[in-house]
Amino acid sequence: MIKLRDIQNKFHNELTSIYSKEEIDNFFYLLTESYFDTSRLQLALNFEAEIDNPETIMTALELLKKEKPIQYILGETEFYGISLKVNEHVLIPRPETEELVNWIIQEFKDQNSELKVLDIGTGSGCIAISLSKNLPNTKVYALDVSKEALKVARYNAELNKVEIQFIEDDILKPKTKDQSPRFDVIVSNPPYVRVREKPLMKANVLDYEPHLALFVEDNNPLLFYKAICEYSKKNLKESGTLLFEINEYLGNEMLQLLKDYNFKSIELKKDIFNKDRMIKGVFSV
């Protein structure tokens, strides 16, 4: 038998050079709740609690030392109030993407007629599922090029009891053209990190998250945005809305891109860290 308090001390001793005290405590409590069904409050009330099977949490400690994200260790995360399964085939959803989802919900929550929404590059399905759960009378479609990502997204849709039509397609060479529904809203959080920005990123992202969903070449950073704008010209209704999560350094370029594609009422929005992070435009033929 080993006391959980001793394991927590071991976590601090071995992780303190990598993470803050608050992060280490958070990791420890997430793991004890997941592995031993013991909440933070229960530990506070009984800090002498013991376990006889420490192998799983010790394995997690070794993975944390290698900077593997806690979400991948647990196989799940929270996003906009819902639980999602995640693995190495999908990005871990970010708080900034929650802001994008909230912007869409606030924009369309009073919509009376049926809304058709397409999420391009759905990954874990976080955007599509959140919109489906929070916008009644909405038909949501979700597209991704990765078979493995779509498996995760389908599982998450079932987990959260929402109906979403999933589409396997490459937005850079889309098969779905005229036969697609005409959408009221198209939203995307596409790859937007330039290769030259890799040195700014932490090992937990670079070493574990799928590069297919993260990076674009330095000489063509708007590659996916251009392709989605082109797709939207054919598949977005007149006065339909296009929304993106964007690279914080490319706000002005994105403003110009949407103007070039004849979008009106363009709005560039900052996230809670005061970075240019979201943009929307209304399509005009």
Pick from 255, 192, 263, 258: which is nearest to 223 by CA? Answer: 192
Per-residue pLDDT, 178: 57
To the nearest whole number, what is the mean pLDDT of the chain?
Answer: 93
Residues 226, 102 within the same domain: yes
pLDDT band at 28; cut points 50, 70, 90: very high
As a whole number of Å, the CA-based R_g of the chain is 21
Residue 113 phi/psi, 5-degree rounding, is -80, 165
Residue 189 is labelled as binding a ligand: yes
DSSP classification of residue 29: H
If asked whether residues 115 and 247 sit together in one domain, one would say yes
d(CA 205, CA 68): 8
Q: Does a structural domain hold residue 71?
A: no
Specify if 145 maps to a domain.
yes
40 lies in some domain: yes
35 is in an annotated binding site: no
Domain count, the chain: 2
Q: Is the pLDDT of residue 166 over 90?
A: yes
Residues 193 and 234 in one domain: yes
Q: What mean pLDDT comes out for the span 167-189?
A: 86
Q: Are residues 24 and 146 located together in one domain of the fold?
A: no
Closest CA to 158 of 214, 233, 83: 83
235: confidence class by pLDDT, cuts 50, 70, 90? very high
The arithmetic mean of pLDDT across residues 232-244, rounded, is 95
What distance in Å separates the CA atoms of residue 14 and residue 65, rounded to the nearest whole number?
8
Tell me which residue of 279, 273, 285, 238 sits closest to 256, measured CA to CA.
279
DSSP β-ladder status, 82-85 and 76-79: antiparallel
- 73: in domain: no
- Which residues pair with residue 84 across a beta bridge? 77
Q: What's the distance, CA 169 to chain centroid?
A: 19
121 is in an annotated binding site: yes
Question: In the structure, what pLDDT confidence band is assigned to residue 22 with cuts at 50, 70 and 90?
Answer: very high
Let me know whether 26 and 126 are in one domain: no
Nearest by Cα to 244 from 166, 171, 138: 171
Longest dimension (CA), the chain: 70
199 is in an annotated binding site: no
Residue 123 counted as an annotated binding residue: yes
196 domain residue, yes or no: yes
Best CA proximity match to 73, nearest among 31, 121, 124, 103: 31
Q: Is 144 annotated as a binding residue?
A: yes
For residues 172 and 266, membership in a common domain is answered with yes
Q: What is the pLDDT of residues 95-141, one digit of tens each?
A: 999 999 999 999 999 988 899 999 999 999 999 999 999 998 999 99
Q: How confident is the model at residue 179 (pLDDT cuts 50, 70, 90)?
A: low
Q: How many CA atoms lie less than 13 Å away from 22 in the CB half-sphere? A: 0
Q: Are strands 236-245 and 183-188 parallel, antiparallel or unpaired?
A: parallel
Structural domain including 112 reads: 79-283
122 is in an annotated binding site: yes
Same domain for 88 and 42: no
**What does 240-258 look like in DSSP terms, one character per residue?**
EEEEEE--GGGHHHHHHHH
Asked if residue 72 belongs to a domain, the reply is no
Considering the domain architecture, whether residues 185 and 270 belong to the same structural domain is answered as: yes
User: Is 125 labeled as ligand-binding?
Assistant: yes
Question: 13 and 91, same structural domain?
Answer: no
